[in-house]
Amino acid sequence: MQAKIALRRGLVNFNTIGMATFEYRARTPEGEIRTGLIEASSEDAALDLLQQNNLTVVSMRSTGGPSLFERGFILGSGVKQKDIVIFSRQIATLFEARIPVAVALKTLVSEAQKPVFKAIIAGILDDIAGGMALSQSMAKHPRVFSSFYVSLVRSGEESGKLQEIFTYLADYLERSYYLTSKARNSMVYPAFVLFAFVGVMVVMLVVVFPRLVSIFEETGQAVPWYTQGIIYLSLSLRRWGVLILIVLAGGGVVAWRWAHTKNGRFFFHRLQITAPILGGLYRKLFMARLTDNLQTLIVGGIPIVRALSITGDVVGNAVYQQGIDRAIESVKGGGTISSAFEQTPEIPSLVTQMIRIGETSGRLDSILGNISKFYQRDVDSALENIVALIEPALIIFLGIGVGALVAAVLVPLYNLVGAI
Give average pLDDT by consecutive 10-residue segment, the chain, 420 residues. 36 44 76 74 66 73 50 50 87 87 88 85 88 87 83 82 84 82 79 84 80 72 76 82 89 90 90 87 89 87 87 86 91 90 90 92 91 89 81 84 79 68
**Domain CATH number, residue 94:** 1.20.81.30
Q: Which amino acid is at 343?
A: Q
Question: Tell me, what's the pLDDT at 3?
Answer: 39
20 with 107, same domain: the answer is no
Say how far apart CA 389 and CA 392 lie, in whole Å: 6
Q: Assess if residue 328 is contained within a domain.
A: yes
390 with 247, same domain: the answer is yes
Say how far apart CA 130 and CA 20 lie, in whole Å: 22
- Rg of the chain over Cα atoms, rounded to whole angstroms, equals 29
Is the CB of residue 326 less than 8 Å from the CB of residue 339?
no
Question: Tell me, what's the pLDDT at 5?
Answer: 39
Q: In what order do the strands lie in the sheet with 33-40?
A: 33-40, 20-27, 56-64
54 with 137, same domain: the answer is no
213 with 125, same domain: the answer is no
| 394: nearest Cα among 203, 186, 222 | 186
Is the CB of residue 290 less than 8 Å from the CB of residue 296?
no
Q: Assess if residue 1 is contained within a domain.
A: no
End-to-end, the C-alpha distance of the chain in Å comes to 91
Task: Write out the residue range of the structural domain in which residue 30 sits.
Answer: 14-73
Q: Which residues of 269-290 are buried (b: 16+ CB within 10 A; e: fewer)?
A: bbebbeeeebebbbbbbbbbbb
CA angle 106, 110, 116 (to 5 degrees): 100
2 three-class SS: coil
Number of domains in the chain: 3
| Structure confidence by residue, pLDDT tens digits, 276-328 | 878 888 898 889 889 988 988 888 888 898 889 888 887 888 999 999 999 99
164 with 180, same domain: the answer is no
